[in-house]
């Protein structure tokens, strides 16, 4: 490791420095980091030590406390956020989107001459929004419809990768066999593929921190907010659900992650399937 001392003690994350990192994650992104995650956080900080050629975790934390610390915050949040995802993950949501939510949404939009908007709120490296786009394209939306999918994430690095739409061939190969062709992949190199242009045209990628003010006015017909609430405390979760309810059309759909739920039940939403909620 260039520029780093060999002493393992230099890589230690003291209680004081852990409190600093956890406090930044909580205040800047609403992410709750428990003490038992200290070793994982230290491992992730190594990426920033290498990039900045710093000799110790303590030196990195001194940088965060300095007058220039605010400049490092976006990069710190990028390494702290988790980006586990896959194409057509939690398939029952996407099946429901294609069979129920989209046909009903198209009918309403045509009747009222309105647009269709879907939001992937934690899009990571793009597998989720491209899976949504694949279902939209396969559902053959009426050409007259103004159809867009907004894909957001707090991590600017993964958003750049998502917007490129290029993936290792093995990543796409792990998708369900019957759904994989819907990605319309084209060769992009010896071991990589590119998502089809017909899907990319639906998408807009934007950086967004879910715990600060949202610039979107809506209304949205569908919101995917999956596998992100688990990182927030109860007041932050409630704030996000309240704001999602305000952005959804009556009758719109909210999809949460497999281990998430609206607990206690939210008055604006009705549970209609496994982690599938409908705006009352």
201 labelled ligand-binding: no
50 labelled ligand-binding: no
113 labelled ligand-binding: no
117 labelled ligand-binding: no
**CATH 3.40.50.150 residue spans of the chain:** 91-279
The catalytic position among 17, 98, 117, 153 is 153
Whether CATH 3.40.50.150 fits 91-279: yes
Q: Is 25 exposed, middle or buried (0-12, 13-18, 19+ CB in 10 A)?
A: buried
Distance CA 52, CA 75 (A): 11
- Structure confidence by residue, pLDDT tens digits, 44-77: 999 999 999 999 999 999 999 999 999 999 999 9
What integer pLDDT is reported at residue 95 of this predicted model?
98
Q: Report the CATH number of the 8-80 domain.
A: 1.10.155.10
Bridge partners for 273 per DSSP: 276
Buried b (16+ CB within 10 A) or exposed e, 49-61: beeeebbbbbebb
Structural tokens at position 262: 């609206």
Its sign, for the CA torsion 245, 249, 250, 256, is: negative
Helix axis angle, 69-80 to 38-52, nearest 10°: 130
CA distances from 111 to 103, 144, 217 (A): 12, 12, 22
CA distances from 270 to 61, 76, 245, 252, 261 (A): 45, 37, 11, 11, 11
What integer pLDDT is reported at residue 117 of this predicted model?
98
108 labelled ligand-binding: no
CA distances from 159 to 27, 204, 205 (A): 22, 11, 7
209 labelled ligand-binding: yes
Q: What is the pLDDT along the chain (280 residues), one digit of tens a residue?
A: 334 444 556 788 999 999 999 999 999 999 999 999 999 999 999 999 999 999 999 999 999 999 999 999 999 998 998 778 999 999 999 999 999 999 999 999 999 999 999 999 999 999 999 999 999 999 999 999 999 999 999 999 999 999 999 999 999 999 999 999 999 999 999 999 999 999 999 999 999 999 999 999 999 999 999 999 998 999 999 999 999 999 999 999 999 999 999 989 999 999 999 999 999 9
226 labelled ligand-binding: yes
Structural tokens at position 273: 């399937």
Structural tokens at position 130: 């491209």
**Nearest in space to 156 (alpha carbons), one of 46, 81, 48, 70:** 81
What integer pLDDT is reported at residue 9 of this predicted model?
60
42 labelled ligand-binding: no
pTM, 2 dp:
0.88
Structural tokens at position 11: 């890589």
Residue 154: how many CB atoms within 10 A of its CB?
24
**CATH 1.10.155.10 residue spans of the chain:** 8-80
44 is catalytic: yes
The catalytic position among 44, 161, 164, 194 is 44
């Amino acid at each position: 490791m260039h520029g780093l001392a060999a002493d393992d003690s230099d890589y230690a994350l003291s209680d004081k420095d852990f409190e600093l990192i956890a406090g930044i994650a909580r205040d800047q992104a609403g992410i709750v980091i428990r003490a038992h995650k200290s070793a994982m956080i230290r491992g992730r900080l190594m990426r920033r030590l290498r990039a900045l050629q710093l000799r110790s975790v303590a030196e990195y934390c001194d940088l965060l406390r300095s007058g220039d610390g605010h400049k490092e915050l976006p990069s710190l949040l990028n390494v702290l956020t988790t980006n586990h995802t896959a194409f057509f993950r939690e398939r029952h949501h996407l099946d429901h989107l294609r069979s129920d939510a989209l046909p009903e949404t198209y009918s309403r939009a045509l009747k009222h001459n309105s647009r269709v908007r879907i939001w992937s709120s934690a899009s990571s490296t793009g597998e989720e929004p491209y899976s949504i786009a694949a279902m939209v394209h396969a559902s053959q939306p009426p050409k007259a419809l103004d159809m867009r999918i907004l894909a957001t994430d707090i991590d600017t690095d993964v958003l750049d990768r998502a917007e490129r739409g290029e993936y290792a061939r093995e990543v796409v190969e792990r998708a369900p066999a019957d759904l994989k062709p819907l990605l319309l992949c084209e060769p992009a190199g010896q071991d990589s593929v590119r998502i089809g242009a017909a899907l990319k045209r639906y998408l807009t990628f934007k950086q967004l921190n879910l715990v600060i003010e949202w610039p979107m006015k809506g209304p949205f017909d569908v919101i995917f907010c999956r596998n992100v609430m688990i990182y927030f405390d109860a007041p932050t979760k409630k704030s996000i659900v309240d704001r999602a309810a305000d952005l959804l059309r009556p009758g719109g759909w909210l999809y949460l992650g497999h281990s998430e739920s609206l607990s206690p039940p939210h008055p604006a939403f009705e549970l209609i399937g496994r982690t599938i909620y409908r705006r009352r």
